[in-house]
Structure 1
Amino acid sequence: MTAAKNRILELRAELDQHNYRYHVLDEPSIPDAEYDRLFNELKALEAANPELITSDSPTQRVGSAALSAFTQVRHEVPMLSLGNAFEETDMREFDRRVTEGLDLPAGDLFGGGATVEYSCEPKLDGLAVSLLYQDGVLVRGATRGDGTTGEDISVNVRTVRNIPLKLHGTGWPATLEVRGEVFMSKAGFERLNATQLEVGGKTFANPRNAAAGSLRQLDSKITANRPLEFCCYGIGQVSADIADTHIGNLQQLKAWGMPISHELKLAQGIAECLDYYRDIGERRNALPYEIDGVVFKVNSIASQRELGFRAREPRWAIAHKFPAMEELTELLDVEFQVGRTGAVTPVARLKPVKVAGVTVANATLHNMDEVARLGLMIGDTVIIRRAGDVIPQVVQVVMERRPENARPVQIPEKCPVCGSHVERTQLIKRSKGRETVSEGAVYRCVGRLACGAQLKQAIIHFVSRRAMDIEGLGEKSVEQLVDEGLVSSPADLYALTFEQIVDLEGFAELSSKNLLGAIEDSKKPGLARFIYALGIPDVGEETAKVLARSLGSLERVQQALPQVLTYLPDVGLEVAHEIHSFFEDAHNQQVIADLLRHGLQIQDQGELAAEFAASTTLGGFLDKLHIPSVGPGGAQKLADKFGSLQAVISADWLDMRQALPEKQANSVREFFALEENRQLAEAAEKQLADFGMHWQSEKKVVEGLPLAGQTWVLTGSLELMSRDVAKDKLESLGAKVAGSVSAKTHCVVAGPGAGSKLTKANELGLKVLDEEAFVVFLKEHGVPV
């Protein structure tokens, strides 16, 4: 018993320290897997010795049985709200009141007055809570409520991972009430809503609603599964003073295990406060959590006490709010737009309203499933949300304001652009030889490139910078070429003549010659760039690069069967079927043939990548056929027993039973009894042989790429090549090109105008190359420049 008790105490102390380093210091010292191992060891020991379980153990953050209702808690020190400032003049008026209240000298024509020290931190958009510690142990959690009376949510706050159940260190007051915000990060919010959609549950409008709803669950097991976090911003009742400044209090709380804001800062005077507000405002969208303003507090505790309180708010603190991200407005109508793949998307037309400083008249509705989820009708009053550069979206309907003449939103039967039929997509889930068909969320126009909207979007994508990179063909020019009947497929671009375009609006002799020159210059694209330009559904730049590097030629990519494509990294079965279906389509085949006929010469083509030569095994191949009831182990047994696909197909019952149990043996025989399955398997095996991927193919020696495993960053403006070209050259050597600098970055290439990334690289002592040195480096590695 003594050994178990000692080990339990050791594990608790170690896990508490790791929680502190991870959640408070943001400096994890062990990988997640090691933390899980320690946690599971503690959990097993406590299960074997239940009498040793205490409420402050890290294992006790699981939810308990559902409560019938929350009990009320009276706050010994009221949890008051803050006064708000919306303009710079409001902040200067606040500073004036503080200065006068403290009887400090004011400024005059001959100089400034006294400067007040303020603490500055972001105002998190979550739920305010109170945590009461007695002798360092968490005994109660409560909501703010009306400021005087809140709800007891003790069982729920215990499930929040970064709230310490027992304070670290020593020296804490016997009674200590910590106040702060429970919130949900943007990433956590997205994960929660995705999970809710999967299980058919309720989704949340924003992270604040998600956090509040999660924390007020009567069943704390639900709370325990929500990605909640806590950030401390102050103290309430306390049996002994901690520090003589607000920031001093927070720093001490951090030492005792409380998470505080990484953005906490001390400002000397109101001018520095305003600078902080502007800086946070510029970085707001990049923060991992939602904020709705900045909180400024007089830093001196003695000064806070001297200033005191108004009826509902302290005189020594204020919240400088950002422009509202959410506003109410009226849904005037819903129109439908047609995209590149034919998706017919509903768009909300709104009564114009100012949101986050921008007038919003339109908002995305995503798809008809989203319209149904919102319960949206034309004429409704709705809540619109806009976050930074994100397209405004409708997040909620105000049902109590619905007018009697509200109209339902109906998907059009005919495409609003070309009049073709609009049909609902079907989702096909493939697993173990079965296909499950269900209705998708997207409605699609079946007109394809006969639909002007799809044609225009397809051409715009085809000529874009990351695709064929045809300079001078913007959206307006593409629309004009399509409307004039000069272009009806991407291939038609290469048949344009000077006489056809010189008289078009916006074109003149020089611009026409420049455009034709740019079209001519695009005739030698790399294979990856060409595949991406084709606009295959679900195939972005990275997947296009995988296809090009792995298969090595356009011909192999066009021929590849789904079962073969899934051998490539990050290509799943659904994407493999999209790729195969695209190249099987007769119209797409004709467009590619026309492009090649007009002189396109695809570059960077060659042999199959060496790592894929003879890369398959018979067992793995049989497993990829998804034979019902036959997993990887059963597939390998078939391979070991029969040695070839044909032997498996033709095996009799007795031989099959020697390899597999009766149910699996029956399943294999029934699978290959279907002509369709047999032909598919034989065709896939033949293609593996044709490509050189078959288990009997010749194995090639894989030469490691020189920069494999390295991360590089490009910054500044390069003069001898574009950054896209530089990225391609680095990736051809095996490097990963990232957008930000970290301690894991191997090298930074810095051109003229390099800014913060170069500064951070120098601070971290990373290797930095200017463009001249980078060119030399590439030449040394045999990369043409």
Structure 2
Amino acid sequence: MPNEKNAPVQASLFGDEPIHEPVRDAVTSPRARHAELNRILNHAAYAYYALDNPEMTDAEFDRLLQELLALEKAHPELAGPESYAQRVGGYVSEQFEPVAHAARMYSMDDAMDLAELDEWLARTDETLGATPEHPVAYTCELKIDGLGVALTYTDAQFVRAATRGDGTTGENVTANVLTIGDIPRALAQAGLARLADGGLGRSVEVRGEVYMPRHSFARLNEDADAAGTAPFANPRNAAAGSLRQKDPKVTAHRDLETFIYAVADEAPIDVHTQHDFLQWLIDCGFSVNPHFRRCTSAAEVHAYCENALAHRDDLDYDIDGVVVKVDSFASQDALGFTARAPRWAIAFKFPPEEKRTVLREIRVQVGRTGVLTPVAEFDPVTVAGSTIARATLHNVDEIARKNVRVGDTIVVHKAGDVIPEVVGPVLELRPEGAPEFHMPATCPSCGSPVVREEGEVAYRCVSIDCPAQAVERLIHWGSRTAMDIDGLGDEIVARMVEQGLLADVADFYDKLTEKDLAEVWTGRQTVDGEDIVVGPVIAAKIMAQVVESKGRGLARVLFGLGIRHVGATVARQLAEHFGSMEALAAATEEDIAQVDGIGPKIAASVRGFFSVEKNVAVVERLRVAGVVLEEERLEPERPQTLTGLTFVLTGTLERHTRDEAKAALQALGAKVTGSVSKKTSFVVAGEAAGSKLAKAESLGVPVLDEAALDHILETGEL
């Protein structure tokens, strides 16, 4: 496959990782498992579509979705409109104006292997009455790993662009899409000839994918590295983030491109097959992926899929499968749709790309909480478009399960085309005498004994003076979700620890100086071998961020301290309940366990943290340095007149930020959530309120404007 487009058609300071409270009752009943699957899938979809920050591999998501579908097939009473199986997928952000699509943008059912694809082909052939003399024709297209978009043309002129959103409503990204060079501003004359009335007085909505070419993605991450900012995980995330920029000038510099492949149902076009429709798109001036093919047998479909898989690395864009569609539009109409997907199309998903390499070392890393993690280091190999040379092995039990040893030829892939993973060894190539791996008895960083608590998988170093833990703890303290000290890179922190400038988090405030920071080596060198230092300009910016971080509040301090089992949510609960570090430190284990959502395990960990003299000393130094150890509350003495009421905020408020309004409502006893349900008491709707407002109106939930919100906040009364 050539690369051309439109070619001719063919923790703690001294503790452990924060964790969620354990599930107390195993999920056993079909109804309970159904609810659990819906919760997991909805959360994963929100992270993927709304945040452009996937928390789960595609393969794992597909596996859970298939389990949900199988559960509903076995128990039809569980299927309903709230099920994720009935959803298209995607979310509508409130950052952009909502746009209603001309017709629903559906998701697509998946075939995870050729056997499942064959089942779908056989079922479709049977439904359409295929015979050897009159086979069903299919159009096969590459499945582009990008962001779905809908483009509207009125009187043959481009007027609007929207993301897929939730399938019925998307986000208006017209200004950003206008910066993409391959989108025609008007339909070409060759295409208008097959459009009713030449397109005059008509609107046409076409659909496709916005993607970032691999060469542009590589350049974007090179620029990010030079600027010291975080790189994008993959081209799909980069494309999604670029299209949702508030400033179109940023989008314009991201080199986005498109492939168009579909149209809203009611479009008045004189074409009758998918194959001809793709040619019509080309005639109109759209960018269409050239590698589509009309097939009339399962064998031809197989050959197309296998060829696409074999040549995916030859392309300058990411694909994650093949879309197979019934070619005839009349047959598509006859087959129709399920609640979430067309019956006339299926996505054959590629398995993760796998490569062989040699495992040279299993190196043990020590995290900020003392957990020892074995990491495989192997000969560099290119997988899914990037070079990898290491992958976590998670723990000693995982190494035993996979049976990998140093010297093995191993198979590696990227889970979800993102996360490097060791699949396992090629046993017939194992060298004679390759030793089994054993976790070291002492910490590789400080030499202290390593322990494994009963019932735990992890080994950990328990020394409070372990330097490896110090680096990781300090990095965590400055992270975005903790004290948010911008510019404080991992390498810089490591160098400061090496040079004795930092030992604990209080050193940021009562020991570190701007002059010392300016002279820290960044870990890089010039071409001539000269060390590159932070320098006075960057040092001044980082120190300004350090000073600003003093006012982040108690919740962030608690999370930043990395107390074992205290994640961001638990830290917020503790801060809101106790109000100050002093009150929390004085609380008994029983007092802490009484906090809503806090169990005895977390309570014991928090109490244990304050029983360590060194920890208390660090907290006291933070207080003396001016770090805020209280949780700010708006008028904390005000009567809790809104207790028992639940509010949802949507749209843009003129006189309040969303966080300010939330905090003010909570100060009056209200609960503020992010989603609308029948249990919601009121929705506060600002300008450009989106799908939440529509849902509130459909459920009959009372809607308040900002004037009503001001009245509530001023008087404490509805």
Give the TM-score, by structure 2 length.
0.49
- More helix, by proportion: 1
- Which structure has the higher relative contact order (CA within 8 Å, separation 6+)? 2
Give the TM-score, by structure 1 length.
0.46
Question: Which of structures 1 and 2 has the bigger CA Rg?
Answer: 1
